[in-house]
Structure 1
Amino acid sequence: MRLSGLVLDLVDTPEVQRLRRIKQLGLANLVFPGANHTRFEHVLGTAHLAERLGGELGLSQEELDLLVAAAVLHDVGHAPYSHTLEYLMTDHLDQGHMELTGDVLRGEASTCTPEEIEVLEDLGAPRIVDVLSDHEIDPDEVARLLLGENEKPYLGQIIHSDIDIDQMDYLLRDSHFTGVALGRIDIDRLMRTLKISEDQLVIESKGVEAVEGLLTARALMYSSVYFHHTTRIAELMVTNAVNHALSEDTPITKQNFYRMSDEELSERLYEIPGYPREMIMRIRYRQLFKTAYLEERQKLEADEKENILKTYGEWHLIQEKQEEIAEKAGVSEGKVILDVPIVDILISEPRIEKVEIPVKTEKGLSKLSDISTLAPALRERQAPRYLIRVATPAEHVKAVKKVLPEALE
């Protein structure tokens, strides 16, 4: 990839440079040792695909600039370890990484601290809002595109929809670095058969098999990589450690935890004696909690999903249930973690349950499920492979397992 013009100017902004220090897959390298790639690489790849697809679709230069800017900037709001702390962001900041990204683009927030901003200004580091303005791009319009509020639906759909360039890049990239071949997709075919019709991003009928391949790859990568149980346990150990630090007088605060890099957060947690330091030591040396209870995945109806969100949809609800289980088992606070991964899908990654994209046929636009028998099957399959997991240190597994039937009623 050759970087120049708008992309190069945006890459030089502090918020984008910070992404060099945020791992794309959080703590997945505990399972897949090669998974050390970063969000920085991913946004470059997404921008490259934006330019490529924009050319295939014949977008105007104004549309292409807007799309490329959104591709470079779409992940600047991520907290350390990518999606790991999303729960805490929504609980403590009342916004997830996408909403924070919108604020950063408008110049209303930053993922740099005030002290860093002061130094960076002295060094002449460019600000996102100024770079966009210099290229005659409205920062608010880029934010609206990323939040799905653009007046041209297809522009937002190119970045974030059932089939988008964000997913195309991360599936190929994550497959490569984890060594899991399940994420391979036919990106050339997708690029050639995606079209714009009635202001929507659609696929030509001859590209249906390529879309089926992407949907299959996505489903398999979620169950085998993104929601691997060991990774999930480690991520929740970090989440609990950060939550503990936020509840006390520590260097980790509501004003700075989401601005840190992976290593910065790890070091700050290590500096806090007691529970936070223990969790980081366990993760650094892979002494993770063990499974005490597992409820296998099951097909969920709409009302069951609604009930799960009501029961576990906010961090404080998860925390309360963890504390209840620990108390019943006679285990100290923080030594029981509860994982309900379907909540992450329903709240922060609804695309995994979307398997529709309009298909352009001789008779007009049809739904993918009307043409493909695979799409509805993938929607039924969903991810991950389990509904609820409870984990605890190995020495407490027996005690925790004993109280779970009553605690999870």
Structure 2
Amino acid sequence: MYIRRSWDPLYGRIDFSDFEYSLLLLPEIQRLRYVRMCNINSMLVTGASEISRFEHIIGVMHLAKQWAKCQKLPESESRDLVAAAALHDMQTGPFGHSMQYVLEDSLEEEQFLHEDLKHGRRVLFHQQVLAGAAFAGKPFSAARTLGAKWEKVTSIIHGDELYGPLIAGTMDLDNIDNVVRLAFHVGLVDQKEKRLPLDLVNVLSIKDGQLTFPQTAISLVRKWQKIRTNLYKLLLLDWAEFSAKAMLTKAIELAAKHKIIGADSWIKTDLEFLDYIQNQSIGAPQEVKELVLRLRRGELYNPLIMLSSSSTEKYKNISSSDSKTRIEHAILASGKYKTSRILLHFILDKGKTERSVAFSTLESSETITIGKNSNTLLIGIFSQSLLSPSEQREITKSCVNILETEGFRNLKTFNDPMGTAPMSQTSLL
């Protein structure tokens, strides 16, 4: 008998039922073999750069199946949960959140909502005709495959239904897998720790819409949380990751501004997307092509200064492309520097580098919250070219002065997560 199976770096051999394998063969899911888990093709955190969403999908499906087995769910409910696990990332665009945030911040009537598959289906996945939603010549077919179960499965993905918290919660199967998976590939966990997701799933339950663990599992939650913090500090605070995100975000913003891309562009894979915006950047949006080519060559913008601020309330207005461009021009106009272009990028770190986890205990039903949510605004300013030490000191002082004039409070430099700062600017502050 031919057994359909996969070898997973975390869980070893995983066997698939006919139903599970049919989900993996959906064009919506096959597309994810060519979409990275990370938001950028990392130059320095190389272990994370090539992990596909498809690998992650297999892991979340496996956790869902294991949880259903532990809870002795009826087969029909188990299939619904496994289907939700398989499809939860279906509408993830190229480079994940890097494109998602630009699309979701657009002013179009039908905003892009990557986790809302009902919305996607309702607007034909933003294609002109439903047949336009296809991968490698094969039309999307998840809704047809699931039939009457489509509504329930997409509701679970959206966080509704009894099992919604398992797919769309603060510590759901999705998060449990992607944290340990990325950390394992990066080299932050060892062979023993890679089994942590299964250890958590084996003791996890749901009560009144909330995650529930026994008291004995609190140490497991803390361990997962620590791994997550170490991983996200590396992914968010590393200067090369920050610079690459700034460059890609700028390219996406310009491509959206010049109508090169729209809500329908989410359907492209990572490389298709880069090829498309590069080839379509003729005339006014020439900067898009320049940014994409530099990203592909690994020629990142150089860090001028990396800061944190307590002014998180400013993010919504100040993170727009026009606002960033205005501040960039003000910095360049503040002196004579050997660079014609700088990039300013903001990351709203709300529950990213650190995330609290709330759950109830089986023994007392009391709610326990472990850890705290980070709440800060990360600011990176980068230069197209290298500057002399004296020019760098001058321009970084201008950066701080202009940001303070803009109302940013408590500006502080933060440490390089790899332990070696690319430059020393502590004296500026």
TM interval, short-chain normalised = 0.7 to 0.9
Q: % of aligned pairs identical? A: 19
1:43–1:331 Cα change, 3 Å: farther
Equivalent residue, structure 1, for 2:197: 187
Given residue 78 of structure 1, which amino acid in structure 2 is its aligned partner? T
Offset at 1:23?
Answer: 0.9
Match of 1:337 in 2: 343
Q: Which residue of structure 1 lines up, in the alignment, with residue 176 of structure 2? A: 168
Shift of 1:202: 0.4
* Aligned twin of 1:276: 288
The CA distance in 2 between the partners of 1:96 and 1:255, in whole Å, is 6
Quick one: which amino acid aligns to residue 85 of structure 2? A
Offset, 1:265: 1.6
Following superposition, the deviation at residue 100 of structure 1 comes to 4.9
Q: Distance in 1 between matches of 2:126 and 2:31?
A: 8
- Tell me the equivalent position of 1:212: 222
Please tell me whether residue 387 in structure 1 is matched to residue 378 in structure 2: yes
> SS state of the match for residue 26, structure 1?
coil
Q: Which residue of 1 aligns with 2:123?
A: 108
Query: Shift in Å at residue 318 of structure 1?
Result: 4.1
The alignment's TM-score, normalised by the length of structure 2, stands at: 0.77
Structure 1: tracts of 5 or more residues without a match: 370-374
Q: 2 CA distance for matches of 1:119 and 1:184?
A: 35
How many angstroms apart in 2 are the aligned matches of 1:126 and 1:115?
Answer: 8
Please report how far the alpha carbon of residue 125 of structure 1 lies from its aligned counterpart in structure 2 after TM superposition: 4.6
- Give the partner amino acid of 2:123: E
Q: Is the 1:163–1:357 Cα contact (8 Å) retained in structure 2?
A: no
Q: Secondary structure of the residue that 1:265 maps to in structure 2?
A: helix
1:359 to 358, 361, 371: 361
Query: Displacement, 1:360?
Result: 1.9
Please identify which structure carries the higher helix content.
1
The question of whether the paired residues in 1 share the 8 Å contact of 2:70 and 2:202 is answered with yes
Paired residues of 2:39 and 2:95 also in contact (CA < 8 A): yes
Structure 2 CA distance for partners of 1:86 and 1:189, relative to 1, 3 Å: same
> Does 2:414 match 1:408?
no
**Displacement, 1:68?**
1.1
Q: 1:332 to 1:267 in 2, by over 3 A?
A: farther
**SS in structure 1 of the partner of residue 178 of structure 2:** helix
- Distance in structure 1 (CA, Å) of the matches to 2:95 and 2:194: 24
Q: Distance in 2 between matches of 1:120 and 1:184?
A: 32
Task: Give CA-to-partner distance per residue, 1:10-66, whole Å, 9 cap, x none.
Answer: 222222221111111132431133331111111111111101111112222232222
Aligned residue pair count: 378
Q: Is the 1:79–1:261 Cα contact (8 Å) retained in structure 2?
A: yes
Q: Secondary structure at the match of 2:16?
A: coil
Cα distance 1:189–1:118, how it changes in 2: closer, same or farther (>3 A)?
Answer: closer
Q: Secondary structure at the match of 1:186?
A: helix
Which residue identity is paired with 1:192? N
Per residue, is there more strand in 1 or in 2? 2
- Structure 2 Cα separation of the partners of residues 391 and 165 of structure 1: 36
Deviation (angstroms), 1:119: 7.6
Instruction: Give the 3 Å change call, closer, same or farther, for CA 329–355 of structure 1 in structure 2.
Output: farther
Work out which of the residue numbers 5, 13, 19 in structure 1 matches 2:26. Answer: 13
Partner residue of 1:131 out of 145, 170, 177: 145
**Structure 2 match to 1:81:** 95
Moved more, 169-178 or 34-43: 169-178
Asked if the contact 1:185–1:210 (Cα under 8 Å) also holds between the matched residues in 2, the reply is no
The offset of 1:230, in angstroms, is: 1.2
TM-score where L is the length of structure 1: 0.80
- Is the alpha carbon distance of 1:64 and 1:292 closer, same or farther for their aligned partners in structure 2, counting shifts above 3 Å? same
Ranked by relative contact order (alpha carbons within 8 Å, sequence separation 6 or more), the top structure is 1
Please tell me whether the aligned partners of residues 303 and 383 of structure 2 are also in contact (alpha carbons under 8 angstroms). yes
> Which amino acid is the alignment partner of residue 243 of structure 1?
E
CA distance in 2, matches of 1:40, 1:247: 31
Distance (whole Å) between structure 2 residues aligned to residue 119 and residue 102 of structure 1:
17
- Give, as a single letter, the amino acid of the residue that structure 2 aligns with 1:340: F
Match of 1:253 among 247, 261, 266: 261
Looking at structure 2, the residues matched to 83 and 119 of structure 1 have their Cα atoms a distance apart, in angstroms, of 21
The question of whether the paired residues in 1 share the 8 Å contact of 2:27 and 2:138 is answered with no
**Could you say which residue in structure 2 is the equivalent of 1:52?**
66
The unaligned stretches of length 5 or more in structure 2 are 1-13, 405-429
CA offset digits 1:180-209 (Å, max 9, x no partner): 328846233212221233453300111111
Which amino acid counterpart does residue 210 of structure 2 have in structure 1?
Q
